[in-house]
C-alpha cells in the first residue's frame, strides 16, 4: 500500500499539467451556459457516467439554473489499464427514458466507444433525443465513428494518457485539480 502511495506521488510529480484548474473552471462555465441555452425548456434527464463523470457532473449541475432530473449509470472498459477493452455495464439506467431528452455527462471522449454505446442504449430504450457532454475530447484518429463529437465539449486535449477532474490513472488521481498527462504516456 505504501509502495502504491509512493508510486502515485511520483506519477503526479512527473506528470505534465496540460490544463490548469482555472482553465477547467472557465471551460465548465462555458459548457453550463451552452447546455442551458439548448436544454432549459426540455425537462432533461441527465445521466452521470460513473466513475469518471462524477466531478464534471458535480460541478456542472449547480450551474444549470433550470429543472434537471439527475441520475447515474456505470459503464466501464479501461479498468486499471491505459487502453480500452470490451465495454461492461456495471449499472444500467434505471429511469424511464421514454420520450425524454437525455444528457449524458462524462469526463472524456477518447475513442468514443463508451459514449456511442450509452447513446445507442438510450435511443433503443425510447429516448426522444440524446445529447452528450464531455470535459475533454482527446485528439486522434482512432474514434469509434468518423467525426465523432460530443454535443458539448469543454476542451480538446492532445493524445496522451490523462488524469484529473474525474479521469484516473490505475484508479488514482481522479481528484487531481487540473488535467495532467502521465509521463511517457
Ligand atoms: O471514449 P472511450 O475510449 O470509450 O473512453 C472513455 C471512457 O473511459 C473512461 O471510463 P473507464 O472505462 O475508465 O471507467 P471508469 O470511469 O469507471 O474508470 C471514461 O470515464 C469514459 O467513460
Ligand atoms: O486518457 C485517459 N485517462 C483516463 N481515463 C481514460 N479513459 C479513456 N481515456 C482515458
- Look up the CATH number of the domain holding residue 47: 3.40.50.2020
Q: Which three cell numbers stand for residue 78?
A: 479501461
- The residue nearest atom 3 of ligand 2, judged by CA position, is 162
Number of domains in the chain: 1
Helix (H) or strand (E) holding 141: none
Write out the residue range of the structural domain in which residue 7 sits: 2-181
CA dihedral angle for residue 108, residue 112, residue 118, residue 122, rounded to 10 degrees? 110
What is the DSSP-derived secondary structure letter of residue 185? -
162 Cβ inside 6 Å of ligand 2: yes
Task: Decide: 57 in ligand 1 pocket, CB within 6 A.
Answer: no
Ligand 2: residue whose CA is nearest its atom 5: 167
DSSP string, 71-100: EEEEEES-TTSSS--S-EEEE---S--TT-
Residue identifier of the C-alpha nearest atom 7 of ligand 1 = 114
pLDDT at 165: 98
How many angstroms does the Cα of residue 86 sit away from the middle of ligand 2? 15
CA-174 nearest atom, ligand 1: 18
Ligand 1 mean position to 167 CA, how many Å? 8
- The complex scores an ipTM of 0.97
Looking at residue 79, its pLDDT comes to 82
pLDDT at 120: 95
Ligand 2 touching residue 161 (CB < 6 A): yes
What integer pLDDT is reported at residue 84 of this predicted model?
A: 84
d(CA 137, CA 166): 14
Give the H or E element holding residue 1: none
Which ligand is nearest to the Cα of residue 76, counting in written order?
A: 1
Residue 166, burial from CB neighbour count under 10 angstroms (0-12, 13-18, 19+): buried
For residue range 101-152, what is the model confidence (pLDDT) as tens digits? 999 999 999 999 999 999 999 999 999 999 999 999 999 999 999 899 999 9
Which parts of the chain register pLDDT below 50?
A: none
* Residue whose CA lies nearest to ligand 2 atom number 6: 167
CA 59, chain centre distance (Å)? 12
Tell me the C-alpha distance between 96 and 20, whole Å.
38
pLDDT at position 110, please? 97
Amino acid at each position: 500500500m505504501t509502495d502504491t502511495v509512493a508510486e502515485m506521488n511520483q506519477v503526479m510529480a512527473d506528470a505534465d499539467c496540460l490544463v490548469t484548474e482555472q482553465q477547467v473552471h472557465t471551460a465548465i462555465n462555458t459548457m453550463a451556459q451552452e447546455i442551458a441555452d439548448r436544454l432549459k425548456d426540455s425537462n432533461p434527464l441527465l445521466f452521470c457516467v460513473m466513475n469518471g463523470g462524477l466531478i464534471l457532473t458535480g460541478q456542472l449541475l449547480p450551474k444549470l439554473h433550470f429543472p434537471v432530473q439527475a441520475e447515474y449509470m456505470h459503464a466501464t472498459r479501461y479498468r486499471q489499464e491505459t487502453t480500452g477493452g470490451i465495454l461492461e455495464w456495471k449499472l444500467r439506467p434505471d429511469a424511464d427514458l421514454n420520450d425524454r431528452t437525455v444528457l449524458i455527462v462524462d469526463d472524456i471522449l477518447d475513442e468514443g466507444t463508451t459514449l456511442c454505446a450509452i447513446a445507442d442504449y438510450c435511443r433503443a430504450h425510447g429516448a426522444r433525443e440524446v445529447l452528450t457532454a464531455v470535459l475533454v475530447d482527446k485528439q486522434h484518429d482512432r474514434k469509434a465513428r468518423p467525426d465523432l463529437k460530443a454535443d458539448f465539449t469543454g476542451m480538446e486535449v492532445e493524445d496522451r494518457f490523462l488524469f484529473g477532474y474525474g479521469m484516473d490513472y490505475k484508479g488514482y488521481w481522479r481528484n487531481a485539480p487540473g488535467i495532467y498527462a502521465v509521463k511517457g504516456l
